[in-house]
Amino acid sequence: MTWPFIVMVLLLAACATASLQILSGVRAFVAGESLWTKGQKDAIYFLNQYAINGSPQAFEGFTRAMEIPLGDRAARLALQPGQVQTDVAHEGFLRGGNHPDDIDSLIWLLRYFDDFDLVKKPVDQWLVGDEYIRALRDLSHEIHQRNTAGTADAPTRERWQNTIRDINAGVTPAARNFSEALGESSRQIVLLLMWANTGMAAVLIVLTLWHTHGLLEQRRRAERTLEAEREQARTTLTAIGDGVVTTNTQGQVMYMNPAAEVLLARPATQATGQPLAQLLVFDGEAPPLSADTLVQNILRSSGSAPLGNVHTTLVRPDQTVVPVKLVGSPIRHRGMLTGAVLVLHDVTREQHYVEQLSWQATHDALTGLVNRREFEHRLEALLAQPRPSGREGSLLYVDMDQFKLINDTCGHQAGDEMLREVCRMLQSHLREGDTLARLGGDEFGILLKDCPTGPSARIAEQLRQAAQDLRFTWEGQQFTTGLSIGMVQLIPALTTIQEAMRVADMACYRAKEGGRNRVVIYQPEDIEMSRREGEMDWVRRLRLALEHNQFELHAQAIAPLQPSGETGLHMEVLLRLREDDGQLIAPGSFIPAAEHYGMMTSIDRWVVRHTLEALARRQHQPGLLPVHTCAINLSGTSLGDDSLLKLIRSALAESEVDPHILCFEITETSAISHLPNAARLMKELQQLGCRFALDDFGAGMSSFNYLKHLPVDYLKIDGSFVKDMLHDSASWAMVEMIHHIGQVMGKQTIAEFAESQAIVDALRDIGVDYAQGYALARPKPLQDYLTLGNPPWPGPARSAGMAPGQAPPHTSARPQQQA
């Protein structure tokens, strides 16, 4: 900014210095001319005296006077272009009586401006004068010779005086011309320099104004940009939904955006300058969280690393509370700490989602009853309680008879209404503390607490009777129903939910078999027997299968739904048991027994080992579709098995399979019931590069909060929601909400049971990242997948009539909200 001004001042100074130098030269020239004129006059006077009387004093005066014009002449001759001798010129001017300080300016002027008209003119006049001086000098030689020889007579002296008079008559106008020319030149030079300086000053003023204008324009532009940026920041801060509060280093509020005003229920004008601690009051923190410590922590946080996410609850001045997530960052200006910024995100909606999700995960949307999972959860709690004999509870497995009939004759809506009516009836006959759940379809489960066999049987009979008496009317048509009830007393011999449910189901089945509309009570002897029959047989078969490698690995592809750029095969490894007769058994049949008899770790190890062997075999084979993700299921008991970790490590090292392709799937419930072990195993395996997926997510949502502690990469949305999502608005909402929660927590979502293209389209529109199901790829032997050259799922086409990029089918595919 300043250098142009410096240059201008320097130019002005240079101009002034040059002017002064020239003026100094001119002044010296004028002084020299004056001396020259005086010398010339003195010389004429003394020579005339000498010519008259031959006095030596007169000759001496003449010689002295002549020194001045002769010295000046010698100096001028020494400055002739092409033969400059400055020391000779200096010496000449000294002889000419010039002041030593003036000589340099004089030399400079005559040397460099000799071609300049204003210098040339007086110099020409000087040359004329010098001719007379030369004549005077020649005459002085003659006079001196004759005077010394004593041969000068009167006529000679008369002639000399006449000659001197003639010279004087010639030199006087020459000297006047010299003086006038010099005077004229000096005046013109002064005028010229004045104009030059004025011109220069004018140019510099124009340049200064121009440059200043440029600077002002630049400043205005910077101000405009700054204002635009400020406006942009202000608009952004006004538009964003999160509250933003900035404080100074003392924790006093400096700024609040409109969202923060709403969140804290205070206008910014009132809050500005107030200590933050007066505005941010937190509820129920242990140890108490204070705004002051929060600000101090933020100010202490290193670099610009934000502090957070702190989940807390704000108490507003009107005592209403709002759950928030806090993120804080220090504000630095040129390295100096100037304050802190706090971003407050209102998590009411997320919490509401979670609550809704939890409710929906544990309840049946149609009837409002608890669902199968919650029922099993409560059953598990009941089984875990020590029960004194005679005060055991009972489990009733209830199935409506001929329910299909009403669906078929009057449609699903009528069926739904009848289901609701039966529920109301069942509920009205139960005691407080008993549990009624809808297990699915037209099946219900009932838990009767502290209810021995006799009373339980009586209640079951009452229910059956009440159902039989129920008259359901739909559009003028009347329907009746009955209940087939299987009852089992929850005696200590029953240890697992699976066992209890199975025997109750069997009792219900027997009721159906026995002609429907009846109660069948399962006897303890039956329980023992069935268990032995069922499970012991499985244990034997599983042992044999492990010994003889009768398990088979199948797989099912998981297709990306969004354009993520992910290539390669993403699949889940599935376990099957090949029976002696060639029949293929799905894991649902043998896993309960394997879990009960502690065989799951062996089975998991078998799966891990054989999967890695299969992956290793196909490595480096050209032309095959690379494996991006290979998901392997791990059971709850394996989560605490240190030897499994060792096995995975050594199998990975042996097979040289890239650990990054492995993704272990653990079910939400097993992860939560083995939380510390699960978290530890996950950490260890993640350090190797493996990923994790939480299977059947949404099924046990009561434990949603645990998700925060489980560092999983994928959430697999429970298939029961996906399967029904097109017909059941609650299932649709669950899928949507689980995906939303996944997004919020930075996890990708996989939907299981994508059984139709319409479901796939709906999942894609919701934004779900991956889907797995018959509509995309069926389970096949693992080997078949590993030899694929191309992805097994069809292209990204939508269902008929819908082009990619077309509006999402929410309005058509999304089921209507049920009451």
Ligand X SMILES: Nc1nc2c(ncn2[C@@H]2O[C@H](COP(=O)(O)OP(=O)(O)OP(=O)(O)O)[C@@H](O)[C@H]2O)c(=O)[nH]1
| Residue ranges in contact with ligand X by CB under 6 A | 366, 399-404, 407, 412, 415-416, 419, 441-442, 512, 516
DSSP for 692-745, please give it. Answer: EEEEEETTTGGGGGGGGG---SEEEE-HHHHHHTTT-HHHHHHHHHHHHHHHHT
Residue 390 · residue 435 · CB < 8 Å: no
Task: Between 442 and 761, name the residue whose CB sits nearer to ligand X.
Answer: 442
Nearest to 53 by CA among 169, 168, 164, 161: 161
Contact 47, 136 (CB under 8 A): yes
* Closest to ligand X by CB, 512 or 541: 512
How far is Cα 767 from Cα 747, in angstroms, rounded to an integer? Answer: 12
Neighbours of 205 (CB within 10 A): 11
Residue closer to ligand X by CB (options 59, 732) is 732
Of 339 and 445, which has the nearer Cβ to ligand X?
Answer: 445
User: Minimal distance in Å, beta carbon 486 to ligand X?
Assistant: 12
Minimum distance from residue 397 beta carbon to ligand X (Å): 12
Which residue number places its CB atom closest to ligand X? Answer: 415
DSSP assigned state of 282: B
Minimum distance, C-beta of residue 755 to ligand X, in the bound complex (Å)? 15
Torsion angle in degrees (nearest 10) through CA of 171, 174, 180, 183: -80
Closest to ligand X by CB, 400 or 594 = 400
**440 or 711: whose CB is closer to ligand X?**
440
Strands of 449-594, DSSP E: 472-474, 477-479, 483-489, 519-522, 551-557, 559-560, 569-578, 584-585
* Closest approach of ligand X to the CB of residue 344, in Å: 43
For residue 426, the minimal CB distance to ligand X (Å) is 15
Among 564, 477, 591, smallest CA distance to 771 is for 564
Smallest distance from ligand X to CB 588, Å: 19
If the CB atoms of residues 13 and 405 are measured against ligand X, the closer one turns out to be: 405
DSSP letter for 324, please: E
Nearest to ligand X of 487, 771 (CB atom): 487
Report d(CA 380, CA 374) in Å as an integer: 10
CB of 509 to ligand X, least distance (A): 10
- The least CB distance from residue 527 to ligand X, in Å, is 23
Q: What are residue 54's phi and psi, to 5 degrees?
A: 60, 25
The CB-of-440 to ligand X minimum distance in angstroms stands at: 7
Nearer to ligand X (CB atom), residue 412 or residue 778: 412
Q: At its nearest, how many Å lie between ligand X and the CB of residue 724?
A: 9
Residue placing its CB nearer to ligand X in the complex, 295 or 418 = 418
- As measured in angstroms, the least distance from the Cβ of 417 to ligand X is 8
Q: Is 552 exposed, middle or buried (0-12, 13-18, 19+ CB in 10 A)?
A: middle
Q: Which is nearer to ligand X, 352 or 412 (CB)?
A: 412
- Structure tokens belonging to residue 431: 């005691």
The residue among 399 and 696 lying less far from ligand X, judged by its C-beta, is: 399
Residue 700 in contact with residue 670, Cβ under 8 Å? no
Which of 750, 725, 721, 735 is CA-nearest to residue 816?
Answer: 725
Which of 403/538 has CB closer to ligand X?
403
DSSP structure string for 71-104: HHHHHHHHTSTT---HHHHHHHHHHTT--HHHHH
Q: Rounded to the nearest whole angstrom, what is the least distance from the CB of residue 725 to ligand X in the complex?
A: 14
What is the C-alpha to C-alpha distance for residues 636 and 506, in angstroms, rounded to an integer? 27
Tokens of 605: 């190890």
CB of 475 to ligand X, least distance (A): 15
77 vs 123: CA distance, rounded Å: 11
Nearest to 289 by CA among 260, 313, 265: 313
Q: Smallest distance from the beta carbon of 514 to ligand X, in angstroms?
A: 12
Comparison of 350 and 724: residue with beta carbon closer to ligand X: 724
Count Cβ atoms below 10 Å from residue 23 Cβ, excluding itself: 16
- Angstrom distance (rounded) from CA 435 to CA 451: 12
CB atoms within 10 A of CB 149: 8
The alpha carbon of 41 is separated from its chain's Cα centroid by a whole number of angstroms, namely: 97
Nearest partner of 205 among 5, 2, 1, judged by Cα: 5
